[in-house]
Structure 1
Amino acid sequence: MSSSEFDVYQSPLNTRYCSTEMKHLFSARKRFSTWRKLWTWLAEAEQELGINISNEALEQLRAHQTITDQELADAAVEEKRRRHDVMAHVHVYGQTCPAAAPIIHLGATSCYVTDNADFIVSTQLTQISLTLSLGQPAQLTTVGKRMCLFITDLLMDLENFEHAKKSLLSWFRGCKGTTGTQASFLQIFQGQHELVERLDQLVTEKAGFHKAFTITSQTYTRKVDTNIINYLGEFGATCERIGGDIRRLAAMKEMEEPFEKDQIGSSAMAYKRNPMRSERLCSLGRHLQCLTQNGLTNYAAQWFERSLDDSANRRITLPEAFLTADACLILLDNISNGLVVYEKVIASRVAAELPFMATENIIMALARHDVSRQESHEEIRVLSHQAAAVVKNEGGQNDLIERIKRTPFFAPILDELDGLLNPSSFTGRAPQQVEKFITEEVDKALEPYKIDVRCIPFQS
């Protein structure tokens, strides 16, 4: 990083949290190179349908689809002068490809490149994205079952991402002209409607999409953005929930996220092991949830065929939504791969609370010996409060079981107490549920992703 870069604001999403792949997809080179591909596809399709475009023009367009550093700098200068980003890039591309200069952007409106590029990038973004109680002792569960609660929600998010990917591939803005009427293209093709429709179809196919919207305004409907950002916002809520529970479990010393050998938890308190990854996950997840409102209001605020008051907002919101989701995914992967479970701490806490949890089992056992449930309940209620007082007021151990053993009322079930206090008898079918869930749902959902996406060459 050059010294000048330290003098201007840098988004933490860019400098700290996100993957190189995701940052590349939102780079200026990726955006404007995609515009060049769209202009090339448009020119190719127009030539195929009879418009007088030379082969030399197409060869130049194809040879310069990836924008250079110098061209990016030139376009920035042009944009300051012209106050129009698309026309600045049309100008620079035309200087680089002089034979094609007269036909670049022929019949198109700015949203031909801006909106269609958003669709193209969003499909790649979704591909990357694909790759507990009220705080009171209650019925026991297992660590595995609790993790499966997290996974259940993540599978729902995965299903949302899959749906978003399929939806994006099913629709493209295509070639619709200034207000979506295709009037400019109809003029180019001298009133031949079938050629205008064929042009729309050809460009859509060249871009890798199944079909284009039949009806658009100058833009594709911003409801598309709303749906995608809402899915990402739901994922953000999942992340905050998971991170919050891991933080609570860390506070109880039952579970801990990865903590590196030389990691510092606090500048003041050397002993601290702050769950910084989970805290960051909660923070970014919360930010991601908040971005959903931008998508909704950008859609709702549109006027007629289009108004430009969504433009600046979308330039921030769409990248931040995907970049934040990417950062959350990196954190989830890091946390889950290094999660530590402290079994002895859990066992100690279970032992401390188990006598209270076992009271219902004891009442049921007495009922099998024809002892009134009301009487059993009252006897246990009195002893439970006495044992709780020892714990709360004296800092002692839970001695409820010892009190039960000393009380004649419970004599009929004393030889059953050990069995009634077996922790595994309180977890129900949790182990079996986990096994079924993993084999029948999780493994099947992850089957398409067995190839490590990090091993696939990244396409610019």
Structure 2
Amino acid sequence: MSNDAYQTPLASRYASKEMAALFSLKTRYSTWRKLWYNLAVAEKELGLKAITDEAIEQLKAHIEITDEEIEAATKQEAIVRHDVMSHVHVYGETCPAAAGIIHLGATSCFVTDNADLIFLRDGLDILIPKLVNVIDRLSKFAMEYKDMPVLGWTHFQPAQLTTVGKRATLWIQELLWDLRNLSRARNDLGLRGVKGTTGTQASFLALFNGDHDAVEELDARVVELLGFDYAYPCTGQTYSRKIDVDVLGPLASLGCSAHKLATDIRLLANLKEMEEPFEKSQIGSSAMAYKRNPMRSERVCSLARHLQSCFQDATQTASVQWFERTLDDSAIRRVSIPGAFLTADIVLSTLLNIVSGLVVYPKVIERRISAELPFMATENVIMAMVKAGGDRQECHEQIRVLSHQAARVVKEEGGDNDLIERIRRTEYFAPVHGQLDALLDPSTFVGRAPQQTEKFVKVTVAKALEPFAKYVNTESTQLSV
């Protein structure tokens, strides 16, 4: 890697080796050769006598392009100003018996567009297992902490109690929707297939002397050889760019989920209730040695914003394609599609690292509950007094006065919430003094959170992950950076 030319950090710093390799030049050009080889195989099977066994053998033997051939094609492109034809030329030099039949009947989009669809499929095949493992690890976390009461927040203001595990189910549910969306997008993908220059298959019809059935068989056979279920029935020169929208949309939606999850963890780190893993030798700040910055969650938020923006490239590009095609889609797709996949890859890898090592601080959580619970428990105290024969309105007024006094201590004096002690010292509440500890048990304030969490993980999550069981626990949680 050169140090005197810009390198995208998505590939050089963040993304996994398999995702970076998928969008590499070597993979791209080798995939073009795979397409040319399979086109020749199908054409030969259907009776084109110009394609010899020797040609097929040479094409197959040299599907994997070499660095020297990439360099040669780059030099050729400088002459002919056409990337596909420069590779046709170099592949032909490497496979002389096939030089005359490479790309036979095809247009450039036979290799460029079909290759892009292969990359979309293979990219999703890399991402889906990572997402499955994030969900699996987070579900284990939810079950571990399903019963632990924690202060809930609405408007980032203290609200009713929930549990640590129940809060995690909110994150998991959104990730399950992302898994559904990514799987749908992956399973919906087809190939452009063998369609010719404007999608009419005219060149292939000429090759097969007007035999429409042979052309349809050719299209179907190429799709089969490349491992797809079908080809899009209608294309122009390119496949519809709405397909990119259908793929990048779920990736952008994943970015929303990841950003929300990571933001919550950043806020919880500030509250000192929970934090991401922190390595023994990790430095949080160059100036403040005590700091434990949530840098992984911050990275997720940063890259998740970029991931969401890639979707706009796809929608805008799809909306301005003219008739059978224009070329203003080419440059932006070279940036936005690899960028979206590389970004989603590192977002998921980082999330996996985070959720596999979340640290919870029960004592901090308990202290925060104890500071807010007395106010929440006032209704319980009132009901207990009524059961003991008290008047609800009078009891409410007594509680109101004591609550305001306690709130003044907290807000104006910076003291602890002493509402319960005030109730203990007030003779009016003597009938329930012996019940106060039970009335303040946090576990009685969480509603059905534990039960909801357990059912969600054991039923909803289990059912959703069942088709992906082979992926669970196969993904490393370690980050290289």
TM-score class, shorter-chain normalisation, is over 0.9
**1:213 Cα deviation from its structure 2 partner:** 1.1
Q: Distance in 2 between matches of 1:90 and 1:301?
A: 30
Report the CA distance shift for 1:370/1:453 in structure 2 as closer, same or farther (over 3 A): closer
The residue that corresponds to 1:100 in the other structure is 98
Matched, 1:203 2:222: yes
**1:387 Cα deviation from its structure 2 partner:** 0.5
Q: 1:51 aligns with which of 33, 48, 51?
A: 48
Q: 1:332 aligns with which of 351, 371, 387?
A: 351
The residue that corresponds to 1:380 in the other structure is 399
Partner secondary structure for residue 102 of structure 1? coil
Partner secondary structure for residue 139 of structure 1? strand
Q: Distance in 2 between matches of 1:389 and 1:455?
A: 54
**1:193 Cα deviation from its structure 2 partner:** 0.6
The residue that corresponds to 2:418 in the other structure is 399
Q: Distance in 1 between matches of 2:15 and 2:263?
A: 21
Q: 1:352 aligns with which of 371, 376, 382?
A: 371
**1:214 Cα deviation from its structure 2 partner:** 1.0
Q: Give the unaligned 5+ runs of structure 1.
A: none
Q: Distance in 2 between matches of 1:323 and 1:374?
A: 62
Q: Distance in 2 between matches of 1:345 and 1:304?
A: 62
Alignment of 1:230-241 (within 5 A): 230-241=249-260
**1:99 Cα deviation from its structure 2 partner:** 1.0
Q: Which amino acid aligns with 1:116?
A: N
Alignment of 1:31-180 (within 5 A): 31-52=28-49, 53-131=51-129, 133-168=154-189, 171-180=190-199
Q: Distance in 1 between matches of 2:213 and 2:301?
A: 53
Q: Distance in 2 between matches of 1:166 and 1:288?
A: 21
The residue that corresponds to 2:204 in the other structure is 185
**1:454 Cα deviation from its structure 2 partner:** 8.8
Q: 2:442 aligns with which of 413, 423, 431?
A: 423
**1:380 Cα deviation from its structure 2 partner:** 2.1
Report the CA distance shift for 1:102/1:36 in structure 2 as closer, same or farther (over 3 A): same
**1:268 Cα deviation from its structure 2 partner:** 1.1
Partner secondary structure for residue 140 of structure 1? strand
Alignment length (residue pairs) = 451
Q: Distance in 1 between matches of 2:404 and 2:86?
A: 78
Q: Give the unaligned 5+ runs of structure 2.
A: 130-152, 476-481
Q: Which amino acid aligns with 2:80?
A: R
Report the CA distance shift for 1:318/1:196 in structure 2 as closer, same or farther (over 3 A): same
Percent of aligned pairs with the same amino acid: 60
- Tell me the TM-score normalized by structure 1: 0.95
**1:174 Cα deviation from its structure 2 partner:** 0.3
**1:425 Cα deviation from its structure 2 partner:** 0.3
Which whole-Å deviations, capped at 9, do the CAs of 1:215-251 have from their partners, x for residues lacking one? 1111111111001101000000111101100000000
- Tell me the TM-score normalized by structure 2: 0.91
RMSD, aligned α-carbons: 1.6
Q: Distance in 2 between matches of 1:429 and 1:417?
A: 22
**1:372 Cα deviation from its structure 2 partner:** 4.7
Which whole-Å deviations, capped at 9, do the CAs of 1:304-353 have from their partners, x for residues lacking one? 11111111000000001011000011101100111100111111111111
Report the CA distance shift for 1:454/1:255 in structure 2 as closer, same or farther (over 3 A): closer
Q: Distance in 2 between matches of 1:362 and 1:453?
A: 48
**1:417 Cα deviation from its structure 2 partner:** 1.6
Q: Distance in 1 between matches of 2:107 and 2:472?
A: 36
Q: Distance in 2 between matches of 1:198 and 1:454?
A: 42
